[in-house]
Each structure stands twice: as C-alpha cells, then as structure tokens.
Amino acid sequence: MHNPPHPGAVLVECLDGLDDMAITQFAEGVHLTRATLSQIIDGHASITFSLAVRLENALGTSREMWISMQSAYDFWIAEGERCACSRI
C-alpha cells in the first residue's frame, strides 16, 4: 500500500489563500481551536466523524471523503506497526 496523505494535507489545500484572520474564523466556525486545527493540518490529530460532518457543511465536501482519507491513513500507519503475531 502506498503512503496515503493525512487528511490534514488536503484540508490545508482547502484553506490555501486565506489570511490568518480567515483561518481563525474557519476554525471557530467548525468548533475547533486554532491550535487543534494546526494539529490536524500538521498530521498530529485525526478527522473525527463529527468533524467530518462539520467540514462537509463548511466546505461543501462530503463527510465520506474525510472519513475515507482518515481511514486509509490510519490503516497505512497500522500496517507499519504490524507485530510479528503468531496465528492461533
């Protein structure tokens, strides 16, 4: 499996061109702190189901898109953490 992007990388593209004030207003509009939004954009926090719905409403995207991207990223991380477990 290839390295899928964290959904925060896509979110930052959606916010491209906005000034600092507009980004802060966006964060408030989707009920996030600016710090939490930064964590998501930097790939240090996940897109939750409730945030996916809020992003859908704010950006006109689909909630399924955000959850699908987050799931693909999470599965890719899990594959890298696979332990040498024995079958029973």
Domain positions in the chain are: 7-79
As a CATH number, domain 7-79 is 1.10.260.40
pLDDT at 43: 97
pLDDT at 84: 62
- Give the number of residues written for the chain: 88
DSSP the chain: ---PPPHHHHHHHHTTT--HHHHHHHHHHTT--HHHHHHHHTTSS---HHHHHHHHHHHS--HHHHHHHHHHHHHHHHHHT---PPP-
pLDDT at 87: 72
- Mean pLDDT, rounded, for 54-68: 98
C-alpha span between 65 and 42 (Å, rounded)? 19
pTM: 0.88
